[in-house]
Structure 1
Amino acid sequence: MNYFEENIVQNISNQEWAFIECNIVNNILSITLNRPAKKNALHPQMVNEIAFALSHAHHNNEIRVILFKANGEVFCSGADLKAFMGISEEFQSSIPQPSKNILLGEIFNEVYKPIICQLHGNIMAGGLFFLAGSHFTIASENVKLGLPEVKRGLFPFQVLAALLNNISKQNAINWCIKGDEISAKTAKEWGLISEITEVENLSNVTKKLIEKIVNNSPNAIRMGLKAFEKITKNAGEHQYLMEMLQKTIMSEDAQEGIKAFKEKRKPVWTGK
């Protein structure tokens, strides 16, 4: 993991975060999405901040587990397309720009630490990277998971690739094509969610899981995750999928889909 110089990521306690909260307690790094007014939509700087925090965990042997959480009712609504096209509000963040392009479909596998996602609210589109990249997901029984991109004239290219490490090819491609929401129960049956519980019990279930993990050898886990990443990684795949996404965003159907969504009407597709 070489998105930032190792000496830069050594200290995260004095950083100013614009889109996440980050803290370490008992060797557990908690990363909390903190953009509730925008339903925690992914912003380019949010991705940079997540990568910075994960880089710290990667280089810090004291970190045993990484825990993802979110503030607000929605865990993550996907990518903020305006922000990724350069249209964004001002923000204050001390996190520098990375030395190379960050792909969410890859960074989770490069940390070599157990990752847990504590899913309390709905998660959509690019937010599914957090589930696909986590080794464990503890979810509230009422959450919904959605891939609505095709309804906007887009396609979840990178999310599809990430999901293929978790669920069957048939379930993954069918979900992407139909653009449906699925329940936590269905996601668990598919293998995308590890455990379902009541929302008020999420923290307790997560705590018990962490206790099990930290009792095991950190070196054995690290070596195992390195091997797992090598086995499952397809070099260059996510870069190609990013290029495909950019082409799709510029299509007539994508422009119409986004416009129709904003205007709350049915899109008129041209197939271009």
Structure 2
Amino acid sequence: MNDFTQLKYSLVDFIATLTLNAPPVNALTRVLNDELTLAMDRVSEMDEVRVVILTGEGKVFCAGADLKGRASVIKGPGDLLAHSRRTRECFHAIRECAKPVICAINGPALGSGLAMAASSDILVASDQASLGLPEVDVGLLGGCRHAMRLFGHSKVRRMMLTGLRVPAAELYRLGIVEACTAPEDLMPTALEIAATIASKSPVSTGMGKHTLNVIEDMSLRDGYRYEQDMTARIAKTDDAKEAQRAFAEKRAPKFVGH
């Protein structure tokens, strides 16, 4: 993925790291939006990737929409609808990525940045991080529905109506992030979780994420029935059989991804 200009990519030990790199505050430009969408689609089909870490370069994870570049993108009829479609598909690409996505929030994640975090599977945060919906201060809306995946009713509305930013320590207290670390410990923490995921069967983790996405808005009966059906499918895979053999033989399993 050396063709990207606002997104850094690296791959080590089945762990792909995608770093937002649009100085000075990683605002979601048209370029970054399209590159991040494409990157998520690409890693979804790469067998050498089992888990993704999404983070930001510098002191800000993502300051939100690129308001300065908005005028160059929206010039005439249809442009706003196309822009809105591209933006929401970027967040869907994260949520629908075939590989689990760990969001390592290195600094403020506002508006679009909050939506990226909420679209990820596992969240960890630096103690310099925060989540917020600042759109009320610039005459816009955005990210509220994504915030509802993380926060309760009153908190979301307070954030939207006042621009309140919720700091990392409070995010950890609320159980929204898995860890609140010193800045230098953020990536090691994310990598530790990623390494554990990468050691599991990619069939199980991939199908497990897909199942969680599907059942999220289902009833208990329908959701659990779907999960049972997926369990039956996983049980027929070579990786599942290898996991059972390894358990019986008291050794580490060797997964092949099918």
TM-score normalised per structure 2: 0.73
Shift of residue 233 of structure 1? 6.3
SS at match of 1:18: coil
SS at match of 1:222: helix
Shift of residue 146 of structure 1? 2.3
Residue in 2 aligned with 1:44?
30
Is 2:37–2:93's contact at 8 Å kept on the other side of the alignment?
yes
CA distance in 2, matches of 1:109, 1:228: 10
Say yes or no: does 1:175 pair with 2:152: no
Task: Say which of 210, 216, 227 aligns to 1:226.
Answer: 210
Q: How well do the aligned residues superpose, as a CA RMSD in angstroms?
A: 2.3
Q: In the alignment, residue 73 of structure 1 is paired with which amino acid?
A: K
CA distance in 2, matches of 1:232, 1:162: 13
Output aligned runs, 1:1-272, within 5 Å: 12=1, 15-37=2-24, 39-86=25-72, 101=86, 103=88, 104-156=90-142, 159-232=143-216
SS at match of 2:124: strand
Q: 1:53 to 1:190 in 2, by over 3 A?
A: same
SS at match of 1:137: strand
Percent identity of paired positions between Structure 1 and Structure 2: 27
Number of residue equivalences: 208
Q: 1:190 to 1:176 in 2, by over 3 A?
A: farther
CA distance in 2, matches of 1:65, 1:23: 12
CA distance in 2, matches of 1:191, 1:28: 25
Q: 1:203 to 1:102 in 2, by over 3 A?
A: closer
CA distance in 2, matches of 1:130, 1:163: 10
Q: Which runs of 4+ in 1 moved over 3 A?
A: none
Shift of residue 183 of structure 1? 1.0
Larger radius of gyration: 2
Shift of residue 226 of structure 1? 1.2
Q: In the alignment, residue 215 of structure 1 is paired with which amino acid?
A: S
Is 2:197–2:205's contact at 8 Å kept on the other side of the alignment?
no
Is 1:148–1:180's contact at 8 Å kept on the other side of the alignment?
yes
CA distance in 1, matches of 2:214, 2:87: 18
Shift of residue 77 of structure 1? 0.7
Is 1:165–1:232's contact at 8 Å kept on the other side of the alignment?
no
SS at match of 1:68: strand
CA distance in 1, matches of 2:109, 2:149: 18
Is 1:105–1:162's contact at 8 Å kept on the other side of the alignment?
no
User: Structure 2, unaligned stretches of length 5 or more?
Assistant: 75-84, 219-258
User: Structure 1, unaligned stretches of length 5 or more?
Assistant: 1-11, 89-99, 235-272
- Cα deviation, 1:48-78, whole Å, max 9, x if unaligned, reads 1001111111111221111112212211110
Q: 1:112 to 1:163 in 2, by over 3 A?
A: farther
Shift of residue 102 of structure 1? 5.1
Is 2:52–2:194's contact at 8 Å kept on the other side of the alignment?
no
CA distance in 1, matches of 2:120, 2:86: 21
Q: In the alignment, residue 11 of structure 2 is paired with which amino acid?
A: I
- Cα deviation, 1:118-141, whole Å, max 9, x if unaligned, reads 222222221112210121222111
CA distance in 2, matches of 1:47, 1:191: 28
Is 1:112–1:226's contact at 8 Å kept on the other side of the alignment?
yes
Q: In the alignment, residue 189 of structure 1 is paired with which amino acid?
A: R
Is 2:14–2:198's contact at 8 Å kept on the other side of the alignment?
no
Higher-helix-fraction structure:
2
